[in-house]
Structure 1
Amino acid sequence: MIFVALLHAVNLGARRKVPMADLRALLSSLGLEGVRTYIQSGNAVFGAGPDPALRGRLEAALEAQFGFPVPVTLRTAHEWREAARDCPAHLRDEAVVLAFLRDPPDPARVAALRGRDVAPERWEIVGQTLCQTVPDGVRNMKLSSGVIERTLGVKVTVRNERTVQAIAAMLDT
């Protein structure tokens, strides 16, 4: 199986550095195959057998190697392609980011998120991905990853649509 691993909140400042060459070496040392990374924001594509403990193994290895906890969100190649394809068309009339939810959200918490006023931003959850417009730019998002995490009670990591599409293209090569 081919997987996409998204590392949360790495390489954003002076701390929490995860060099991509080191990440590739670490993932390869875990027996993952064909490890490739995309840009410096903690995106990796690799092959592995079905393993329900994979996320936990990755997180433990990352913390041991880099000295701080790194939450990981995993998607299969099929799930990634769906997320890249299924962002609602009515949101794509402006800049979009995709927030990858690490775990399925509770419907009551989704309802609470719907109750928040984040205009002019618009959003929709498709599966375990929150597609969101960012009319005022990523730095000015009202519906930030922190707000999403606190409201939904699940870890989240955000990627812009260009990154999502680039990783989808990597899956086809």
Structure 2
Amino acid sequence: MANTYAYALLLRGINVGGHRKVPMADLRALLTELGHGGVRSYLQSGNAVFTSPERDERQLATAIERAIEGHFGFTVDCLVRGAPYLRAIVDDCPFPAAELEGRQLHVTYFSERVDPERLAGMDTAAHLPEQFRLGDRALYLYAPDGLGRSKLAEQLARPSLFKGIVATSRNWNTVLKLAEMTAASDTV
């Protein structure tokens, strides 16, 4: 039996306001049709876990993007991240996650490394106590009043800031759950 690796699939911008609907049952069926094993979804906001012998996250994401476009008729940016990476995101959190509510801490996952120079012009002191830190293809955001009220999140969401990079955010509860789900599925 070949080694299989556990991955989380993060879809960007689906099932929001009734647009770009991707039912999770259909997504699970599509991933299974692509030959992935142990397919499970989490919430309705575009999170799935699966196993595959494939080692290349970018190749997996591209194949899934093509399959989604073929099945649903619209494009969806996808990020695929392996179990060790997801565990490292949890372990490397620069904020006291255990002391915070899940709605106060978010991770934005990026398709590639973000050069800190992109963020050099931001007036971070103006947004305190809100803070952010860059990680490995990720940005950690501490927003004590939640994302919906965060002025810093508003600044970080400017389209020009991360131009050319796919980005999708998850709250800390989802970050933890995806790390847990992939750890349980990783057979390597």
Shared fold (TM-score, shorter chain, > 0.5): yes
Residue identity opposite 2:166 in structure 1: K
1:87 to 83, 93, 105: 93
Q: 1:42: which partner in 2?
A: 46
Q: 1:69: which partner in 2?
A: 75
Q: 2:161: which partner in 1?
A: 151
> Does the 8 Å contact 1:145/1:156 carry over to 2?
no
The alpha-carbon distance between structure 1 residues 76 and 127, as it changes in their structure 2 partners (threshold 3 A), is same
Query: Partner of 2:157: helix, strand, or coil?
Result: helix
Residue identity opposite 1:70 in structure 2: V
Deviation per CA, 1:21-69, whole angstroms, max 9, x where unpaired?
Answer: 0000001111111111111111111111224522111111111111211
Residue 102 (1) aligns with residue 106 (2): no
Q: 2:139: which partner in 1?
A: 130
> Does the 8 Å contact 1:36/1:45 carry over to 2?
yes
Query: Partner of 2:88: helix, strand, or coil?
Result: helix
Aligned residues: 173
Q: Structure 1 unaligned runs (5+)?
A: none
Residue identity opposite 2:30 in structure 1: L
> Does the 8 Å contact 2:132/2:139 carry over to 1?
yes
Indicate the RMSD between aligned Cα atoms, in angstroms. Answer: 2.2
Deviation per CA, 1:94-119, whole angstroms, max 9, x where unpaired?
Answer: 42111111211123213235668433
Q: 1:20: which partner in 2?
A: 24
Percent of paired sites with the same residue: 36
Whose relative contact order is higher, 1 or 2, with alpha carbons under 8 Å and at least 6 apart? 2
Residue identity opposite 1:54 in structure 2: L
- The runs of at least 4 aligned residues of structure 1 exceeding 6 Å deviation read none
Q: 2:65: which partner in 1?
A: 59
Bigger Cα displacement from structure 2, 61-70 vs 49-58 = 49-58
Q: TM-score, normalised by structure 2?
A: 0.82
How far apart, CA to CA, are the structure 2 residues paired with 1:11 and 1:50?
Answer: 29
Query: Partner of 1:151: helix, strand, or coil?
Result: coil
How far apart, CA to CA, are the structure 1 residues paired with 2:175 and 2:48?
Answer: 12
Deviation per CA, 1:64-109, whole angstroms, max 9, x where unpaired?
Answer: 1112110011111100111122111357654211111121112321
The alpha-carbon distance between structure 1 residues 165 and 115, as it changes in their structure 2 partners (threshold 3 A), is closer
Residue identity opposite 1:104 in structure 2: R
Residue identity opposite 2:181 in structure 1: M
How far apart, CA to CA, are the structure 2 residues paired with 1:158 and 1:59?
Answer: 18
Q: Structure 2 unaligned runs (5+)?
A: none
Bigger Cα displacement from structure 2, 25-34 vs 87-96 = 87-96
2:15 to 11, 15, 18: 11
